[in-house]
Chains A and B, each alone.
Chain A
Amino acid sequence: MLLDFAKLGAWRWALGFIAGLTGLFLLVPIVFIAALSFGSSRWLIFPPPDWTLKWYGELFADPRWLAAMATSAKIAVVVTVLSVVLGLLASFALVRGRFRGRDALRSLFLAPMVLPLVILAVALYAVFLRVGLSGTLAGFVIAHLVVALPFSIIAISTALETVDPAIEDAAVVCGAAPWEARWRVTIPAIGHGLLSAAVFSFLISWDEVVLAIFMATPTLQTLPVKVWTTLRTDLTPVIAAASTLLVLVTLALMLGAALLRRRGGRA
């Protein structure tokens, strides 16, 4: 190979240094926030003069923060379920279907990925105001589904493309009805794709703030929106605690998915 790591000599150290620096650059803000959430200073002094769990206590004592967490979780779960189900159906059509306009349809499904989020937000806001979905849970779900679905479709389609349709044919000849062949053979075979789709969908909804700001009302907010609005009026370490919690859920989910995938790969 042209760039063989073992043959780089002294450059290896330089490479390691740059990689370390990049990692640091990406992680520092998160580490910083996490450290601040345990710091005793109300004014977010760094390094913290002392350590405390006070801010987490305040976070979990405040019904508004709790409501925001519950709202976020509820929306993310519903978005995940819908995104995986719709993504599965759409992927079957896009991968297995033979019809005119298939490529156009695929581009249409993936369009929200490239569309500026704020434009999508304004458009959805305008429509939702008219049809009365603004500020409702359904409105949040639909908005997040629009951005989550492309990721779901990509993950599931990619997995489905690796499953030879002849395998389904074999299951049918073996005596399984076509729906049964898909349920018992194809869907388990694309399990890793479904898992990725679910994790991505959940995280997209869980982290999403731009669309959520447009959809939110003072009484119905997601956690990122609550962080954002609180930040505008009040600089409290509770925000750091909430942010750390957001990151923690994301991290846990990624790790869990990676573990599941490894176990699935080995079995």
Chain B
Amino acid sequence: MSAPFLEFDGLRKVYGGVVAADRVDLGVAEGEFLTFLGPSGSGKSTTLYILAGLQDPTAGDIRLRGRSILATPPQQRGLGMVFQRYTLFPHLSVAENVAFPLRVRRVGQGEIAERVGRALDLVRLRGFEDRRPAQLSGGQQQRVALARALVYAPPVLLMDEPLSALDKKLREEIQYEIRRIHHETGVTILYVTHDQEEALRLSDRIAVFNAGRIEQVGTGHELYANPATRFVADFIGESAFLSGRILRAGAGVADIGFADGTVAAGLRLHGAGAAGDAAEVMLRPERIGLAEVVPEGATGLAVTIEDAVFLGTGTAVSARTGWGEAVSVRLPFGHPLGRDLGRGRVLRIFWQAEAAHVFVRG
């Protein structure tokens, strides 16, 4: 197998005793849109800054097209970057901001004008050439920053939470623009965000960071359908976690006993677990059914209804298990029980064995 286009190899960063990033191993394909997703302080930005050359790693290597770039100073790496904060040069016009990378590369005047024009077309800011950054909205500033980062055709574009300062509506608008620009240019993009919805909307693949490490890498669908760890399950999408105990474990499958005596057999087990271990069963709300009688072939559990809220497309039901854990269920519109969920009513939740994931409690 040939080496990936961009490769992180055992990257580690320690600042004053705190491990900011650890054992970051990752391959990125050319043209891929890969997002680093994780809470703040999880090492995603640190990894990006090391790639940009603005920070040095404590150990490990980064290779672009098979060649280490760590010895190359940041200004010679040729990467593009859009920052979280507004970083346009305040004394320069929009056109001069975008021209800056070409000027420092001593590109000829005529070619600069042409390439700046094309970059501004790409971000749809033609006609704004003579404005100053202070005369632009936050969204426009970030689009200029995007044009400035793309004007020299970098092999990789790095984006560090570029939309976090914008309001939700504008954010979605620019997410769409970023997708379009990715399709039009085919540039490889590494995108950092703590917003799972943004990650799902934009990315080909997502690397989920937690406490300095990558917990799992995969498409949004893979991460949602088959989370490798409890952290990923919790971070991506909504989920219910039910505590239980492993009764029998083997070959990635476990039987779980719950506190009310219910046994759920043949659930998918993630990680190593043995009989007697405390475990959690993860269920997605839309894969949990609600009924008076558990259907044939499904696992069921008695719950008490606490609240039901009609949301148009469905009904969000909050319930509590016999031993007091909260579960939320999403009933589709038209479900026979949807209009008849009084508080305190006892019903049964049920799920198919393959919809549940078991994580051993750490």
Contact = CB atoms under 8 A, between A and B. Distances in A.
A171 B100 contact: yes
B87 A175 contact: no
A176 interface: yes
Interface in B44-87: 52-54, 73-81, 83-87
Interface residues of A, number: 22
Interface string B107-144: 00000000000000000000000001000000000000
A205 B90 CA distance: 32
Nearest to A173: B81
A123 interface: no
Contacts of B53: 172-173
A170 interface: yes
Interface of A, secondary structure class, is helix
Interface in A143-185: 163-164, 166-167, 169-178, 180-181, 184-185
A72 to B, nearest CB: 33
A191 interface: yes
B231 interface: no
A188 interface: yes
Contacts of B85: 164, 166
A166 B83 contact: yes
Given A170-B148, A171-B100, 8 more contacts: A172-B53, A173-B74, A175-B104, A177-B73, A180-B75, A184-B100, A188-B89, A188-B91
Nearest to A163: B90
Given A164-B85, A167-B89, A191-B91, A175 B54 contact: no
A189 interface: yes
Contacts of A191: 91
B350 interface: no
A170 B83 contact: yes
Nearest to B93: A267
B89 A172 contact: no
Interface of B: 52-54, 73-81, 83-92, 100-101, 104-105, 132, 145, 148-149, 152, 158
B81 A175 contact: no
Contacts of A176: 75, 100, 104
Interface in A12-30: none
Contact of A174 (B86, B90, B132, B148): B148
Given A166-B83, A177-B75, A180-B104, A171 B89 contact: yes
B136 to A, nearest CB: 15
A156 B90 CA distance: 16
A163 B100 CA distance: 18
Contacts of B77: 173
A174 B104 contact: yes
B54 A169 contact: yes
Most buried by B among A166, A171, A173: A173
Question: Among the interface residues A171, A174, A181, which one has the most CB atoms of the partner chain B within 10 A?
Answer: A174
Contact of A166 (B78, B80, B87): B87
A242 B53 CA distance: 59
Interface of A: 163-164, 166-167, 169-178, 180-181, 184-185, 188-189, 191, 267
Contacts of A180: 75, 104
B101 A174 contact: yes
A175 B91 contact: no
14 contacts: A167-B87, A167-B88, A167-B89, A167-B90, A169-B52, A169-B83, A170-B81, A170-B87, A171-B100, A173-B52, A173-B74, A175-B105, A176-B104, A181-B75
A175 B78 contact: yes
A256 B83 CA distance: 37
A189 B132 CA distance: 12
Given A166-B85, A180-B104, A173 B79 contact: yes
A207 to B, nearest CB: 31
Contacts of B76: 175
B201 to A, nearest CB: 25
Contacts of B54: 169, 172-173
A188 B158 CA distance: 27
Most chain-B Cβ atoms within 10 A of its Cβ — which of A166, A175, A188? A175
A167 B152 CA distance: 18
Contacts of B149: 173-174
A166 B84 CA distance: 9
A166 B73 CA distance: 17
A96 to B, nearest CB: 14
A118 B54 CA distance: 49
Contacts of A185: 89
Contacts of A189: 89-91
A120 to B, nearest CB: 37
A188 B133 CA distance: 14
Contacts of A181: 75
B87 A172 contact: no
Contacts of B73: 177
Given A166-B83, A180-B104, A173 B75 contact: yes
A217 B1 CA distance: 85
Contacts of B79: 173
B59 to A, nearest CB: 23
Nearest to A169: B54
B87 A169 contact: yes
